[in-house]
A and B are shown apart, each in its own frame.
Chain A
Amino acid sequence: MSSTVDTIKHLLGKISQSSLNSYIWTDAERTLAMARASEEYTAARSPRALEGMSIGIKDLFSMKGTPTSACSKILRDYVAPYESTVTERLWNAGAIFMGKQNCDEFGMGSANIHSSYGPALNPHSRNGQPTSPGGSSGGGAASVAAGLNDVSIGTDTGGSSRQPAAWTGIVGFKPTYGLVSRHGVIAHASSLDCPGIMARDVLTVARVLQTIAGYDPKDAQTYDMPVPDFIGACSANLPLKIASYNPSPETLKLPFAESHKVDIGYILEHCVDTYMDISTGEAMSNLARYNGIRYGAKINNYTNFAEYCQRTRSENFGSEVKRRILMGTYVLSNNGLLYKRASQVRQWIAHQMQQQVWNHYDVLVMPTATIGAMTLDEVQHAHCEDIYQSDQCTVMPSLIGGVAMSIPGGLDTDGMPMGIQIIGPPFAEAKVLQVAAHLERSLDRMSVIKQIKS
């Protein structure tokens, strides 16, 4: 049986040889020191909750003394002076830091092509072409799928952990908004941002969630309440009612559940535009701080202060970030009329979901994405509006602040992974984990994919 240090050395070797561009920063010395410390805990027969688990971290998480750039040129020299709550809890539980992982700049994107480090690649290739792992947490998803680490910690603002999980054939999880602290996570859209978890199976996600969930006085949005037994939920057998929106209920036969089809199409059709209004408005506000004074790269040879700020931002933000800042500025202009209307529609979406689904069912099952992974060529030439619309299955749970998990749902006609999504209202993690763990084993996944594609 190999030791933790041997295993970690092996993984570091795989990372250094990988052509996926999924890791952007590693520190082998630090990683091996953590592995040696982990071995001591194990030898003393007092292992911690995540002892020896290898974890990669999305470059949006601040880690003390560690480069943290949000994969943006504007933060290229930034070294975080403090530790995020999520990473602090992981290291205290014995997890081993493998490195910082590639993502779309500031978490804005669905294909990991908007990174100053270049695109990450999917280990599963469509027809032999370089293929996107999805985004924005594409580097983390690709790493888990390729076996470079056990778990990747991403973020999930509108599906950024679930969609890459679906495209790479792994499990991706978004907790209830406020269940896991955002302290130390570089902000994208503050009313939607959640840390996300990606792993190869549901139980591992539950183990990590058990460690990182819970009240944090440094994040006012977290809830002061006991953390439930998420690990036990994975083997629970409680009677549940499942709503299904494509795939059909017949494909979701579980011994403890009854399934019924629901029609929520009229709700989903408002979700992407509502999400774009809200997320760009909040992103514009959050990114105002990167002006080369308090934060951000600095430029030389300027004639006045306005030019200094404009050039600093224009020369160091990527195109997708600039596009969203402009959209967000527009949304917040006119006294915020568009943002206010989007906020009203968001409340309507939550109300409709409550009335149509949550008042009658425990969880909802639907596809994670309507298509499998796209090639890099396809995503680079796609219209940005089409890319935004590709998030149509993942943004609804984000807008209502609920819980959602993508599990592998089979393969498409090219043999590329597809995901199915289990969604619950806020604080329904246990029910979502129960259904996901059972579906993970019992589903006839190929038949589910036929349902999704038909």
Chain B
Amino acid sequence: MVKPFCEEDLKRLCILASLDYTDSLKFLSELQEINTKVIELINSAPVSSDYPEWEGVQGPKSMDGNATVKAEDTIKDFPHDSPIVNRLIKAPKTL
């Protein structure tokens, strides 16, 4: 179980992270808030502690996801202009 974040933690972290402790004190309350929330959520994680860790993006076994576009599958003369974008780009700049 991970303990909530406290001032002693901040001192220790500043040594580990090579950051000035006095300068870092301004982050204390934010870090306490964020870390409490993160810990709560991690402790209530939807998986048990023996669930596998991230295995990384698995390389494609084939190119099915990407290489299925053949000439006969495309629409000839498909218009590529975008009316909404043109409207936004031409909008008067207010700055």
Residues of chain A whose beta carbon lies under 8 Å from any beta carbon of chain B: 19-20, 121-125, 128, 130-131, 145-147, 169-171, 176-178, 191, 200-203, 223, 225-226, 228-229, 232-238, 270, 273, 276-277, 284, 288, 291, 306, 309-311, 313-314, 317, 319, 322-323, 325-327, 329-331, 333-334, 337-338, 340-348, 350, 383-385, 388, 400-401, 408, 410, 417, 424-431, 434, 437, 440-441, 445
* 3 A-B pairs closest in CB distance: A235-B78, A401-B57, A169-B88
- Can you identify 23 A-B contacts, CB atoms within 8 angstroms? A122-B95, A128-B94, A130-B95, A169-B85, A191-B54, A228-B66, A235-B80, A236-B74, A236-B75, A238-B68, A314-B19, A317-B19, A327-B35, A338-B2, A344-B51, A347-B47, A347-B54, A348-B45, A388-B34, A408-B82, A426-B58, A427-B66, A441-B83
Residues of A within 8 A of B20 (CB): 310-311, 313-314
Residue from the list B13, B30, B41 in contact with A385, Cβ < 8 A: B30
Q: Which chain B residues border A343 with CB–CB below 8 Å?
A: 53-54
Complex interface: chain B residues within 8 A of A170 (CB): 85, 88
What's the count of A-B pairs with C-beta under 8 Å? 225
- CB neighbours (8 Å) of B49 from chain A are 341, 344
Contact of A145 among B17, B24, B45, B89 (CB under 8 A): B89
Contact B67 A229 (CB under 8 A): yes
A346 x B54 contact (CB < 8 A): yes
Q: For this complex, into which size category does the number of interface residues on chain B fall?
A: 35 or more
Interface string of B45-71 (1 = CB under 8 A from A): 111010111111111100101111101
Check if B13 sits within 8 Å of A342, measured CB to CB: no
Asked whether B8 is an interface residue with its Cβ less than 8 Å from the other chain, the reply is: no
Cross-chain contact B93 with A123 (CB below 8 angstroms):
yes
**A326–B17 CB distance below 8 A:** yes
Judging by beta carbons under 8 Å apart, are A437 and B78 in contact? yes
> When chains A and B are docked, how far (Å) is the Cα of A234 from the Cα of B10?
51
By a CB distance below 8 angstroms, the chain A residues around B63 are 225-226, 228, 427
Q: How far is the CA of A136 from the CA of B55 in the complex (A)?
A: 27
Cα(A337)–Cα(B39), bound, Å: 10
Q: Which residues of A contact B17 (CB under 8 A)?
A: 284, 313, 325-326, 329
**Contacting residues, chain A, for B37 (C-beta < 8 A):** 273, 385
With A273-B42, A326-B17, A385-B37 already in contact, 20 other A-B pairs whose C-beta atoms are closer than 8 Å: A123-B93, A124-B91, A125-B93, A146-B93, A147-B89, A178-B59, A200-B82, A200-B85, A200-B89, A202-B82, A226-B63, A236-B69, A270-B46, A276-B34, A311-B20, A344-B53, A345-B46, A348-B47, A431-B65, A441-B82
